[in-house]
Copies of this chain bind each other. A is one copy, B any other.
Amino acid sequence: MIGIDLGFVTTGFSIVEKREGKIFLLDCGLLSMSSSQSISYRIGCFYDFFDQKLIEGQIQVISLETPFLGKNVQSFLKLGYLRGLLYLLANKHNLDILEFSPREVKLSITGFGGAEKDQIARVLMRLFPGFQMPKKLDLTDAMAVSLCGLWNSSFKK
């Protein structure tokens, strides 16, 4: 299960797995892309990066948070570009894409749909004791959506 928190400058990802009732954080990190690069260059980087990650991690499911339209319509549209690439990768590698609202993610991690980011971070640190609180919240957001995906797909099985 990979959780991805999309962004045209910084994208967070988190790969988690459940084995014998325990959850393991196998890989996590950020893909940073310079805003001075062209859109098509960044699109190419993003595609190649996740193509590789999905193969290496033998990923079967991608978990995403539903984007909401904020003040910046262009940013919202560009999130669509990146989602389109993930759907293309899902088609190429025969993966499922799960999607959760921000509320569902928070509820799943903390038991409270209106939880703040630092509350989510505390739960993550408890789950993965060696994990240091990152400066960028894109990483904790990705971890949260990966865990939400993992728990929800376990339920379904």
Contacts and interface: CB of A to CB of B under 8 A. Distances in A.
Interface string A82-95: 11110110111000
A82 B87 CA distance: 10
A78 B67 CA distance: 12
A80 interface: yes
Interface string A69-88: 10001001111111111011
A47 interface: yes
Report the contact-size class of chain A (Cβ under 8 Å from the partner). 20 to 34
Interface string A26-42: 00000000000001110
Interface in A10-63: 39-41, 43-44, 47
A67 B78 CA distance: 12
Contact of A80 (B41, B81, B91, B92): B81
A87 to B, nearest CB: 4
A107 interface: no
Contacts of A69: 69, 73
A87 B80 contact: no
A128 to B, nearest CB: 30
A83 B80 contact: yes
Interface of A: 39-41, 43-44, 47, 67, 69, 73, 76-85, 87-88, 90-92, 97
Interface pairs A-B: 7 shortest CB-CB: A80-B80, A81-B84, A84-B84, A44-B91, A43-B87, A40-B91, A40-B90
